[in-house]
């Protein structure tokens, strides 16, 4: 019964927050390159803080590996969103060589 409650809480709270953060990452990455890197760096910083606190533990190997994998899943997702969003922005404002030559001919 407790496991069902935890799954319900995860679906009801954590998943919408993560989807909202993914949307925020998309908006920030499209707006500015440096703004798009805020969430990945914040996630890595949080991971490093948790890792330093875990180093005090005796059974550190298993928990460190598990924490590394679980904490960096959102970081990887944010970076994928960042690169996709920046790629669409760069394609939108990319000027072809032919158009560059036409612009130079106007001068």
pLDDT digits (tens, 9 = 90+) for 14-69: 888 999 999 999 999 988 888 889 999 999 998 888 887 777 766 677 777 788 88
Residue 21 domain-assigned (yes or no): yes
Residue 29 domain-assigned (yes or no): yes
Q: Which has the closest alpha carbon to 43: 23, 66, 16, 70? A: 70
Q: Which has the closest alpha carbon to 83: 44, 46, 33? A: 33
Cα–Cα distance, 50 to 71 (Å, whole number)? 9
Residue 78 domain-assigned (yes or no): yes
Residue 103 domain-assigned (yes or no): no
Q: Which has the closest alpha carbon to 83: 20, 19, 40, 48? A: 40
Buried-state track 31-44, b at ≥16 Cβ within 10 A, e below 16: eeeeebbbbbeebb
pLDDT of 82 reads: 93
Residue 75 domain-assigned (yes or no): yes
Residue 62 domain-assigned (yes or no): yes
Residue 106 domain-assigned (yes or no): no
Residue written as tokens 């998943």? 15
Q: Which has the closest alpha carbon to 34: 87, 82, 71, 84? A: 82
pLDDT of 40 reads: 92
Host domain of residue 54: 2-93
pLDDT of 100 reads: 67
Which tens digits make up the pLDDT trace of 58-103? Answer: 667 777 778 888 888 999 999 999 999 988 877 777 666 666 666 6
Indicate the number of domains in the chain: 1
């Amino acid at each position: 019964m407790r496991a069902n409650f935890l799954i319900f809480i995860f679906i009801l709270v954590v998943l919408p927050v993560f989807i909202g953060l993914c949307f925020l990452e998309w908006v920030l990455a499209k707006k500015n390159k440096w703004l798009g890197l805020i969430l990945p760096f914040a996630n890595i910083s949080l991971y490093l803080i948790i890792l330093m606190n875990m180093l005090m533990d005796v059974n550190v190997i298993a928990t460190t590996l598990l924490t590394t994998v679980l904490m960096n899943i959102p970081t990887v997702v944010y970076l994928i969103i960042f690169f996709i969003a920046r790629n669409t922005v760069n394609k939108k404002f990319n000027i072809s060589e032919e158009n560059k030559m036409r612009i130079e001919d106007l001068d």
